[in-house]
Structure 1
């Protein structure tokens, strides 16, 4: 079936799960690296001399009229955020291509497109080529970021899905940190253009790794079942056997396949219009929740810091260029370290507490940043103490964001969305992330130029507004299988009832993946599917997960 007696490079069980996580991790490392790499080179002399029209340092803008300086900031915002606009386009393309191509081929295609964009960027000698390269690179990344979390979640065991996907997002932050330090290391090559060309070209290492490995990995068993073809279902069984390291006649794996099959029978591959219907599966509610959490991630203001940390330290706080780049690199490293607690807490205290704590912390941090930068900017010779406070609280903001909002907005949509629309709705949700990412990155230079420290007040208000939205509308998904979430939404009586239903509905799986209750009868009853199939409880009365 796979063209080899040993599919997936001969890997099974734990080793295969590690391999899947590693391939997804490299792709997410690339995602993070691309987020941060350009922000660290914006103030380099070799970069600004090549692209003087987007330089906003005080040296470049000295003697300019206010209108001319504003044009520089606008053009810088456009140039940097063009990548995010490309990501938005890539995410939209995935809505229509995701279910046709499958998870693996989407990731392969997205990585190939990113490689082309990287080559165009690192070889640019004019701003139009740089922008075109960023857009193309963004399209590939938009496809990948719409697909990798879905592929990862659909190939993961329910009790390990949270830590696994959160670990992948930790790698994203590691990519950001790596880009900052690479930018700083190569800044010593000034005035050679290698100071910025090599860091941008470095992403090719990651794209080529993904291209060389992804096609050897298993396809999502849920996508295979969704094709409703006999050979595809047989392939899905082989994938599950490999993931769980079981034989084809294993009762648990066959019951697991039947649970997925029953959900697939209740629907066919959803159309784009199906994203906005309700009915038993409440597609529209779940699509809007997935879309909304991606919007909220961006309006926290994280990419104000991720893209412009070095610029903020230099232009807004008044530090030297070298010290600004060091602090930006340290900021990225601290951001990466702050992600680790979330990996261990996500399956212990749940998604909702982490989101709420993160939102409260970010709202308060933005308020402190507004106060401290206001004092520093209004002082005649600057206020050293206020500048130090502002510099420190940029680190604090990253800590709260890493704890609650870095990984969960990518994990939760894959858990909330039903199978028949998961690829399309996940891509739509990802497009929200990228268009609002584009908005924030685009307006940040303009906002700092026109309203200065008040920019932080805007984001403080946004973060405060997120708190009641999460509390009222987002159900807890910790420890729930993807099929259990279908039951929770089917049983809920309204938007505000979903949170309560997630708290009160008995669990079907234990903390270690053991089956507590037979899920299939409830799935059939709630989703109106009546065919007979093996029961999970009978098949797995004393199953110990491998």
Structure 2
């Protein structure tokens, strides 16, 4: 069998699929960062005077997260029916429409509706693009490639902060309308690439399109590699048998919810949702959306300096996020999460104690303010290296093929719902609790260490089909002390099980 001729194959095709994920993540990151600068624009406050109220300001920011939550739930319910490419395409269209409504807004309801629609689209794309990439990439590349997408998120987050700083001297509507309008650039970058890449081979097999799946696998394998190549057919059989075994062992929904199914699908869904919940309650969006406001109102910097520090912090965040590309497959997912939780907790603890000290001793307010600012920047370093990237990789890896779209949808919905809660109540929390607000995030971060240590298995250097075998062979919810569940290297028993699947196929 010879596949249909294509100019895109092998590493070039993987690069284009990575680019779809990376650019979609760029749009996602830009939307997370852009509104922090918009909210402090004087012309924006004049155009929408209602946002001077902390609660209205909070809902205007956080309604984006409500839309994204709904988009993630739509991906949860429809992702396996539509396929990966169609789900991403619908997300892009919603993003485009939402962006237009925002930068042309003259009344607050239009702005809120635009942010809701924009959020819905981001919910669809942020759920689906990491899954799409993880289903096409090889196991030894998967972590790095998905992290590139997540790091691209931070790239645009930093870009949004620098645009806000660059437009500080602008006094008119251009100061906030241009940053919101800039979003549409991403649509025209992603859409042409999406038209050129094929559907995920694993989804095609899940949908019963075996010949198409075999063709895509050969296309991913490299130039002039036929569909009957041993490597291609071996991977095809391994995936196909894994799907058949999953369907044979499919349990009633109540058994799934009570952890009585062999492959522990609900447990795996909870694990993926847990990483996203912990990511949001680390405090990243409290700083992402409100850092300029916090620095101006609580630390005492000028508006210009607050924007500059936010931009610098975003750039540091960007560099550290790309640093995680180097270490994610070297250290593994567990070690990164464990180390990051302690480091982030220490940053929040020191920042809160410094703010408390500045309240007690006015003469030391400037020094304590500088230390607090430094801790916010250092927090971004450790977050970027660890928790910024790993949850997105983890949720794309840990779920079974039949539950991967649902698991990613539920995990991303958890991320957005957590982001909504944190963003909505950050300003109110700081106004009422002052320094103690950051102490809450410190407690959260420290609590993540025992949770990951006890419950989270390693997923690096495993094929996506290894995950079912791993949970079947290790049904206990506790992973500490179980080498197959925690070691970074792929266990030999997993390779043996894969060879058995290929022979059965």
User: 1:379 deviation in Å?
Assistant: 3.8
Residue of structure 1 aligned with 2:72, choices 91, 99, 111: 91
Identify the residue that residue 303 of structure 2 maps to in structure 1.
321
Identify the residue that residue 528 of structure 1 maps to in structure 2.
none
Does the 8 A contact of 1:226 with 1:268 survive in 2?
A: no
Identify the residue that residue 504 of structure 2 maps to in structure 1.
532
* Gapped regions of structure 2 (runs ≥ 5): none
Identify the residue that residue 270 of structure 2 maps to in structure 1.
288
Matches for 1:468-507 after TM superposition, within 5 Å:
468-497=450-479, 500=482, 501-503=484-486, 507=490
Once residues 183 and 200 of structure 2 are traced to their aligned partners in structure 1, the CA distance between those partners, rounded to angstroms, is: 26
TM-score (ref. length: structure 1): 0.87
User: 1:208 deviation in Å?
Assistant: 2.5
User: 1:5 deviation in Å?
Assistant: 5.3
**1:449 is aligned to 2:431:** yes
Identify the residue that residue 228 of structure 2 maps to in structure 1.
249
| Local SS of the residue matching 2:36 | coil
Does the 8 A contact of 1:474 with 1:499 survive in 2?
A: no
Once residues 191 and 481 of structure 2 are traced to their aligned partners in structure 1, the CA distance between those partners, rounded to angstroms, is: 40
**1:221 is aligned to 2:198:** no
CA distances 1:394-432 after superposition (whole Å, capped 9, x unpaired): 101111111110011010011110011110121011111
Once residues 497 and 334 of structure 1 are traced to their aligned partners in structure 2, the CA distance between those partners, rounded to angstroms, is: 34
Once residues 100 and 240 of structure 1 are traced to their aligned partners in structure 2, the CA distance between those partners, rounded to angstroms, is: 21
Does the 8 A contact of 1:304 with 1:444 survive in 2?
A: yes
Once residues 230 and 486 of structure 2 are traced to their aligned partners in structure 1, the CA distance between those partners, rounded to angstroms, is: 30
User: 1:518 deviation in Å?
Assistant: 4.1
Distance change (3 Å), C-alpha of 1:499 and 1:134: farther
Does the 8 A contact of 2:146 with 2:393 survive in 1?
A: yes
| Local SS of the residue matching 2:460 | coil
Does the 8 A contact of 1:488 with 1:505 survive in 2?
A: no
Distance change (3 Å), C-alpha of 1:179 and 1:363: same
Identify the residue that residue 192 of structure 2 maps to in structure 1.
212
CA distances 1:301-339 after superposition (whole Å, capped 9, x unpaired): 110111111111111111000111111111100100111
Identify the residue that residue 50 of structure 1 maps to in structure 2.
47
| Local SS of the residue matching 2:329 | coil
Does the 8 A contact of 1:106 with 1:147 survive in 2?
A: yes
CA distances 1:97-148 after superposition (whole Å, capped 9, x unpaired): 1001000000000010011100111111111111111111000000111101
Once residues 15 and 415 of structure 2 are traced to their aligned partners in structure 1, the CA distance between those partners, rounded to angstroms, is: 28
Residue of structure 2 aligned with 1:362, choices 324, 330, 344: 344
Once residues 463 and 296 of structure 1 are traced to their aligned partners in structure 2, the CA distance between those partners, rounded to angstroms, is: 8
* Gapped regions of structure 1 (runs ≥ 5): 56-71, 510-514, 525-530, 534-546
User: 1:343 deviation in Å?
Assistant: 0.7
Identify the residue that residue 69 of structure 1 maps to in structure 2.
none
| Local SS of the residue matching 1:107 | helix
Identify the residue that residue 131 of structure 2 maps to in structure 1.
150
Does the 8 A contact of 2:72 with 2:412 survive in 1?
A: yes
Residue of structure 2 aligned with 1:337, choices 319, 323, 326: 319
Once residues 177 and 260 of structure 2 are traced to their aligned partners in structure 1, the CA distance between those partners, rounded to angstroms, is: 50
Distance change (3 Å), C-alpha of 1:133 and 1:273: farther
Once residues 323 and 50 of structure 2 are traced to their aligned partners in structure 1, the CA distance between those partners, rounded to angstroms, is: 42
Identify the residue that residue 108 of structure 2 maps to in structure 1.
127
**1:185 is aligned to 2:166:** yes
User: 1:498 deviation in Å?
Assistant: 7.6
More helix by share: 2
Identify the residue that residue 520 of structure 1 maps to in structure 2.
498
**1:265 is aligned to 2:244:** yes
User: 1:6 deviation in Å?
Assistant: 4.1
Does the 8 A contact of 1:487 with 1:523 survive in 2?
A: no
User: 1:381 deviation in Å?
Assistant: 6.2
**1:138 is aligned to 2:110:** no
User: 1:517 deviation in Å?
Assistant: 3.8
User: 1:340 deviation in Å?
Assistant: 2.3
User: 1:14 deviation in Å?
Assistant: 1.3
Residue of structure 1 aligned with 2:178, choices 174, 186, 198: 198
Aligned pairs, how many? 498
Matches for 1:57-72 after TM superposition, within 5 Å:
72=53
User: 1:189 deviation in Å?
Assistant: 2.1
